[in-house]
Chain A
């Protein structure tokens, strides 16, 4: 693993060069945020400001979320007339972020030829909420990481507290199987290997081992905290719909408030809409101001996609998206079959069944 400050230096030099040589109009990276354990996205256009870029374990935002809006097709002819040509964009990508870019390319939301993808092997990012919880009653006033990757926090009285990395990494990172970007134009730093590969499966199995009533109770308890702020949706690179099904008013699909039934449908429908598209970056979880583990649902769907169809989102830009494709022999043992033979069987029906038997 290459130390993060070394990668940071290379990142700044790379961005500076790309901007200076006009290979890109815009470079998407991270800069220091005002609070510890966080960074904030930086949309860089001036080469001389490349020094603002940072790379560390707090670079949590999945920057791919900004791509669809940069390449949004004009809404109408009038807009098309005044539209500027699509920009060339450089972007920093972790393994999961790169999968999002792949999925966006698959879904024709971003043109590959306009992108310069700067990949970084990712050793996982810190979940700020977890880190803050770990400090208990203290508040960090500053945070950083040492060469071993441990997270150091400076609290009110100036004491430095070391946080065990595994304890503060985002859940999605603990479950990550592909920390290396699957697609990129250049890689900064050395390769990173995934530690555990079945963590997600174990977590899903653990939940699944509970009886249905307990699962339902847990699910309801968790989402009862939801305030419908839409942060999970807005932070997701795959939620780029011009008008979200859950927002539409003609007709209104679900109520606007936090009635538990509406919240339930919100989360189920949102998860289903990311099925086969979710690249498991965990942006939704980290965006949630209420600490809801939205990946409870998306994790399961990703596993189903893999088990049923051998499909993992964001693996190949040439692949047909999971739900746009099919195979004749896709499993269908979930279908309802009659428990007895049809009561009145006509000759046409027999012929039909005979045809089917062949």
Chain B
């Protein structure tokens, strides 16, 4: 009999990493309690899962780790609401429930052999990290063309995954451009919004796909710039945030048009989104 999709896999929080200076984004490293669960939980970058604490309910989060990191899952969570506030208060060792993986991942079959432009803003970098980690895996890297990452944050302290960003910057098979609105002393990289950097770098739209995740304002302007650079709507890939409950297309909460973000998304091409009501 199929597993009850409402029943979470038990896992344990192994490590909690404070990601930013403001301290409101933390990454949780989770390990399944039962090796069987780890086997069943097979995911692809771009997917999400529902995390739950008994009594505090559930909330959906993009998976920040990559399947190439076999022993654990990573979730980066910003403290905004009831559940995330509670989650931020827990210590390593606490038991946590995971349901998933859910949703449609990034279109990996379409991404094969393509040059990839990855644009991220602020806290929405989580599934992009998953994608980059996956692409850079020695077993996968040759399956893609060039990889250009532009990542913007308000201040240098607000970047997530700082150590990895440094490691990536040192590599020659990926170009990483960081930009901030408010530089501090010693900031040597870009200043300004991601679109300025994007339009300065002028990546070619030829044989390219763009992955864009960020706050709505950033997305709006990034889309305009991508248009100028010649990216077609179906070459722009976005990921939606929506309130969800069941995660399996039943509860109706994440319904937009005839789509359910939880099972038809969260990843959509811009072309697909244009066909939907803008209720997100």
Chain A contacts to B: CB under 8 angstroms = 249-250
Contacts and interface: CB of A to CB of B under 8 A. Distances in A.
Interface string B251-262: 000000000000
B82 interface: yes
Contacts of A250: 81-82
Interface string B75-98: 000000110000000000000000
Listed from nearest, the 3 A-B pairs whose CB atoms lie closest are A250-B82, A249-B82, A250-B81
A249 B81 CA distance: 10
Interface of B: 81-82
Contacts of B82: 249-250
A167 to B, nearest CB: 42
A250 B82 CA distance: 6
A350 to B, nearest CB: 48
A249 B59 CA distance: 14
A249 B245 CA distance: 15
Contacts of B81: 250
Nearest to B81: A250
3 contacts: A249-B82, A250-B81, A250-B82
Nearest to A252: B82
Nearest to A249: B82
A99 B45 CA distance: 60
Contacts of A249: 82
A250 B85 CA distance: 11
B2 to A, nearest CB: 26
A22 B236 CA distance: 52
A250 B80 CA distance: 12
A250 B81 CA distance: 9
A120 B63 CA distance: 63
A252 to B, nearest CB: 9
A2 B82 CA distance: 57
A249 B58 CA distance: 13
A199 B82 CA distance: 48
B54 to A, nearest CB: 15
A250 B57 CA distance: 12
Nearest to A250: B82
A249 B82 CA distance: 8
A224 B37 CA distance: 41
A250 B79 CA distance: 14
Nearest to A251: B82
Nearest to B85: A250
A19 to B, nearest CB: 34
A248 to B, nearest CB: 10
Nearest to B82: A250
A75 to B, nearest CB: 18
B256 to A, nearest CB: 22
A3 B160 CA distance: 74
A41 B133 CA distance: 59
A211 to B, nearest CB: 39
A255 to B, nearest CB: 12
A330 B82 CA distance: 41
A1 to B, nearest CB: 50
B258 to A, nearest CB: 26
B154 to A, nearest CB: 20
B81 to A, nearest CB: 8
A29 B242 CA distance: 39
A253 to B, nearest CB: 13
A142 B139 CA distance: 76
A249 B243 CA distance: 14
A155 to B, nearest CB: 39
A194 B81 CA distance: 52
A249 B86 CA distance: 13
A237 B81 CA distance: 30
B140 to A, nearest CB: 42
A229 B82 CA distance: 24
B37 to A, nearest CB: 29
A70 to B, nearest CB: 25
A344 B81 CA distance: 50
A77 to B, nearest CB: 18
A148 B7 CA distance: 65
A21 B82 CA distance: 51
